[in-house]
A and B are shown apart, each in its own frame.
Chain A
């Protein structure tokens, strides 16, 4: 079981991702934008309870996923946490930008729930969580 921090602004999608990963055996902390995710990640790190993986949508209000990722990678408490983006199909050009700010992978939306579960498992295994 891994601890996964999620940032997704659309409630229905956030709930579905949370539900899917929770019943795949993971502990989920859900936030609705990049700023909240950054705050939550810092709070968890300060409590020595870092997430094993962060999944973030790219386009979110208050702070984009890119900006949140960039700030996390500048923070010594968070720099080693693997981050993967969730990005809409047709916006593949954003992938390179995501890697440039420190993401380890991309999950292209729309995706099926079983694909999400498999991908997350792969990322966790890669990270050695």
Chain B
């Protein structure tokens, strides 16, 4: 296990590969661990980092750090302390919101963002997200693949307050306006059958700037990176391979693809 002390508390992270940096940020259910297949897929061309945010996985549990602003501070401290340059961020749920807000506050830090299963309005969030324990959420939302099982085992490590406070804070965070405030390339990915976060309305998607692109993954739920890892990872690596600043509008789902060790 790799750990770093940030703001006088322990932060757990893992790193794999060499190349331009990508940071993976988990969502409300689980921890860094469900990014393992994506890190493996990207690791031959990129240096991949995944960290547990405040209140999740093996990072410190401290209720005073559970607001979104504190998770943003954590990400900035991590990038600064690790000496990571301009970075691509892949965020899921809570991690996607943190990625988008961080990019808006720190445009020089972020090259591009993939936002998976991100709600732009509170009414997209199933109320069960606010009422259930981390274990109940994991049992509800995770599938039965080996990687899902690994994520399920990590879920109880989360402090329910970390989930609750970040969701509560969303209402006042103004995330609905974020896409209009960002000029960097951004790919929104959503599991078409996600029961936790409803898909963003097409009328809203139509207002997104041309630097944004939305792709719905069929036959996937809240964890498209686990439900369809080959398809998700192909999409991710195609997006990462675009020249800096290029719109992802022409990206499309391609045949399944699997990173193989040569």
Interface residues of B (CB under 8 A from A): 14, 16-18, 33, 36-37, 39-40, 43-44, 146, 150, 258-262
Contact assessment for A112 and B16 in the assembled complex, using a CB-CB cutoff below 8 Å? no
Contact between A12 and B33, CB atoms less than 8 A apart? no
Quick check: A112 and B260 within 8 Å, CB to CB? Answer: yes
**List of B residues within 8 angstroms of A17 by Cβ:** 261
Q: A113-B40, A114-B146 are in contact. Are A12 and B260 (CB under 8 A)?
A: no
Q: Check if A19 sits within 8 Å of B261, measured CB to CB.
A: no
**How many of A's residues come within 8 Å of B, CB to CB?**
17
The reply to whether the CB of A45 lies closer than 8 angstroms to some CB of chain B is no
Residues of A within 8 A of B14 (CB): 19
Whether A110 contacts B40 by the Cβ 8 Å rule is no
Given A23-B150, A114-B146, answer yes or no on A16-B260 (Cβ-Cβ < 8 Å). Answer: no
| CB < 8 Å neighbour of A111 from B18, B36, B146, B260 | B260
A12-B17, A12-B43, A16-B40 given as contacts; is B261 within 8 A of A116 (CB)? yes
A96–B23 CA distance with the chains assembled, in angstroms: 43
Q: 18 A-B residue contacts at CB 8 Å?
A: A12-B43, A13-B261, A15-B43, A16-B43, A16-B44, A16-B261, A19-B16, A19-B43, A109-B261, A109-B262, A110-B261, A111-B260, A111-B261, A112-B258, A112-B259, A113-B259, A114-B37, A116-B261
9 closest cross-chain pairs (CB), A and B = A110-B260, A110-B262, A112-B258, A113-B40, A19-B16, A112-B260, A23-B36, A111-B261, A13-B261
Q: Which secondary structure characterizes the binding site on chain B?
A: mixed
CB distance from A97 to the nearest CB of B (A): 21
For residue A111, which residues in chain B have a CB less than 8 angstroms away from its CB? 260-261
A64 interface contact, C-beta 8 A: no
- Which residues of A21-78 have CB atoms within 8 Å of chain B's CB atoms? 23
Q: Which of A75-129 contact B (CB under 8 A)?
A: 88, 109-114, 116-117
Q: How far is the CA of A15 from the CA of B18 in the complex (A)?
A: 10
Shortest Cβ distance from A123 into chain B, in angstroms?
16
Bound-complex Cα distance A23 to B259 (A): 17
Are A15's CB and B16's CB within 8 A?
A: yes
Residues of B within 8 Å of A116, CB to CB, are 261
